[in-house]
Amino acid sequence: MNRFSQVVVAIAAAMVISACSEPEPPTPPAAEPGVADAPERPAADGAELDEQINPLLVESPLPYGMPPFDQIRDEHFQPAIEQGMAEHRTEIDAIAGNSDEPTFENTIIELERTGQTLSNVMRVFSNLSGANTNENLQAVQREMAPQLSAHSDAINLNEDLFARIETLYEQRDGLELDAESLRLLEDYHTRFVRAGARLSDEDKEILREINTELAQLGTEFSQKVLAEVNASAVVFDNRDALAGLSDSRIQAAASEAADRGLEEGNYVITLLNTSGQPPLSSLENRESRERVHRASLDRGSRGNEHDTTATVSRIVELRARRAQLLGYDTHADYILERQTAGDVQTVVDLHAQVGPIAVANARLEGEDLQALINELEDEPFELASWDWAYYTEKLRERRYDFDDAEVRPYFELESVLVNGVFYSAEKLFGVTFVEREDLPVYHPDVRVWEAFEEDGTPIGLMLTDLYSRSNKRGGAWMNSYRIHSGLLGGYPVTGNHLNITKPPEGEPTLMTWDEVTTLFHEFGHVIHGLFSDVQYPSFAATAVPRDFVEYPSQVYEMWASWPEVLQNYARHYETGEQIPEELLERVMEAATFNEGFRTTEYLAASVIDMELHRLGPDDVPPAKEIMDFEARVLAESGMDFPPVPPRYRIPYFSHSMGGYSAGYYSYFWSEVLDADSVLWIRENGGLDRETGQHFRDTILSRGGSKDAMELYQDFAGRVPGIEALLERRGLLIED
């Protein structure tokens, strides 16, 4: 992603993985005793700024250039964005208007240096808009999205600028550039062409109009989804309806009701953005389960002020029109051209290959659940989607002799993070993390961790923001506030976000196994950002194809269940007792339990995303037909198994409407690489420094500086197949 596209993506879709440049900070001063070469550690209250100075427009006084969150106010963002755009325009005009013949240095290198103010501001703004938004920030989003789109177009469609880039591109074989520099030149040329640089003036104007409207619609969609997930929370007026939930979870529901101004005796179950909801595995009352699940599935299509179906229809239509304007058959063709999958048919074939296997396994699982219902219930009923999680948990308990409640006391958040995630990082990379309580944060739940190399050399910062709240978008993600590159220096500052339900004050945070693996997963993104060691900011950190960016993070999930790591963090929060070996064995035996469901719900969403974006502009269904389209796609692909709805339905499918359009397949595609990598790691040392360093040197540090599949072969020395993934997931393959 070039520097200009990054800016618009950040504001329009609140993207969470960015790769922008930053100014080089001062060399870190001498270390405190015992912390070699650590940057200066000022206390938060020692970094005050003049109230008349916009803190977003001056160099941060904090270590590593961390944003001074205690100084930043909502009203600072719009003027900072506007000034950043003005500075960027001036810089671009200077390059485009340079009377000297274009050279790699006076054109491409200078482009890499531009827009630093705007990039820095936008990273902070887009990250806060996703993690800690409010009406003021949302108003700025709506106001600035079209302006940022116009700003990006003004650069990408600048004829004089593109002429310089194209001249260099045509001369590239004679420029004697090193491999990374040549890749950068080719990348700029490709991206400008894909952004419309070769269009006629008339078509450029049409493109500008499309991009502006898409920017507005992207903001509209994300804000409606957040508003709807809050508005769809389910209210219960008696405690008995919540039977099966833990006392702490019921207390949290009562607190949520009180926070919403409801009378005592009411309870509110809040929703995550996925179709499935965590309480469904515990709620004993079938009517309660149905209420929660229907509220989840109906979001965004209820005809209220938060209904997104019209927004979705228009976004998909405009994407299709833009793709055809740029010379592609569909938006999916446009997107896949730059991904490691290469073309749409490859993804369609993947869906066709794995989908039937997944659904067949899910149906077998459904038969087991129906048999359990018939056995346990006095008045048996047909298995429905709101029953799946509840009876799955019962079957898990029967088959493997444990339930979620038995395991969670061993997965206390602090231990998982420090004794699991950080422990594995030290074993693999020699990296240690030390908490910084003196640095300001944007919310009391946020913590800051400083990373050091084995010899004490500072690396950068990681902010953890792990609890859910009403002004935070759903899901889990990593983001970058600052990045490092050889050209511009700087230190990486990253964010690690989950949406764990916060327990009542004074009680421990006990995690599910899915939450544990998610924390490891997002940390895999974090180290991808922290370890970046490339020359050019365009390639820094996680600036890789969308269907490759999930690969390193999915590999990192393996360490959650690696025996040495798991035994180090899985300790009872009250007694400190290590998880019993026999319980651990049962947990590991259950690793592939319910995989038919998990694979089916994911692939159903992936198929929907791809089929939406394979439509021509005249074939996009109107708002009132969006849900019918979803049903038809599931039926035609064989993914319509009612007890297993898609992980995301179209009206709240933020990936598809955001940065993963025609790209939700990426998780499965990356897992093919991941599964093969896990085999390689097991065969070549496992949890040790040599293995970790090899992965760091060949994958994590290289960013987008080399073709992604070449990077993979540098690491594994082979081309992966899908067999390892299917075996890992325990999916039965019919002959």
- The tens digit of pLDDT for each residue in 82-117 reads 999 999 999 999 999 999 999 999 999 999 999 999
Distance CA 310, CA 733 (A): 40
Element (H, E) at 435: strand 432-435
Residue 10 has pLDDT above 70, yes or no: no
Average of per-residue pLDDT across 306-318: 98
Element (H, E) at 497: strand 493-500
Model pLDDT, residue 4: 41
Distance CA 48, CA 95 (A): 36
Among 13-17, 101-105, 432-436, 540-544, the minimum mean pLDDT is found in 13-17
Percentage of residues in the chain having pLDDT higher than 90: 85
Structure token digits, residue 156: 């990408």
Average of per-residue pLDDT across 686-715: 96
Strands 493-500 and 432-435: unpaired
Distance CA 266, CA 610 (A): 42
Residue 12 has pLDDT above 60, yes or no: no
Confidence of residue 2 (pLDDT cuts 50, 70, 90): very low
Confidence of residue 589 (pLDDT cuts 50, 70, 90): confident
Residue 23 has pLDDT above 70, yes or no: no
Model pLDDT, residue 50: 59
Amino acid at 192: F
Residue 39 has pLDDT above 80, yes or no: no
Confidence of residue 41 (pLDDT cuts 50, 70, 90): very low
Catalytically annotated residue among 317, 450, 522, 595: 522
Model pLDDT, residue 581: 87
Active site residue 522: yes
Residue 40 has pLDDT above 50, yes or no: no
Model pLDDT, residue 722: 78
Question: 217: number of CA atoms within 13 Å, CB side?
Answer: 21
Asked if residues 127 and 477 have their Cβ atoms less than 8 Å apart, the reply is no
Residue 179 has pLDDT above 60, yes or no: yes
Asked if residues 389 and 276 have their Cβ atoms less than 8 Å apart, the reply is yes
Distance CA 283, CA 143 (A): 43
Average pLDDT over the chain, rounded to an integer:
91
The values of phi and psi at residue 435, to 5°, are -70, 140
Asked if residues 495 and 465 have their Cβ atoms less than 8 Å apart, the reply is yes
Asked if residues 556 and 517 have their Cβ atoms less than 8 Å apart, the reply is no
Walk me through the domains of the chain, giving residue ranges and CATH numbers. 3-225 (1.10.1370.40), 232-297 (no CATH), 309-408+595-664 (1.10.1370.10)
Residue 391 has pLDDT above 50, yes or no: yes
Condensed to tens digits (0 to 9), the pLDDT of residues 328-340 reads 999 999 999 999 9
Distance CA 240, CA 377 (A): 19
pTM of the predicted protein model: 0.88
Residue 31 has pLDDT above 50, yes or no: no
Model pLDDT, residue 733: 53
Condensed to tens digits (0 to 9), the pLDDT of residues 404-427 reads 788 999 999 999 999 999 999 999
Residue 9 has pLDDT above 90, yes or no: no
Average of per-residue pLDDT across 665-693: 93
CA distances from 305 to 228, 297, 527 (A): 9, 17, 40
Which one, of 80, 79, 78, 75, lies nearest residue 56 by Cα? 80
Model pLDDT, residue 724: 78
Sequential DSSP letters for 202-260: HHHHHHHHHHHHHHHHHHHHHHHHHHHHHHTPEEESSGGGGTTS-HHHHHHHHHHHHHT
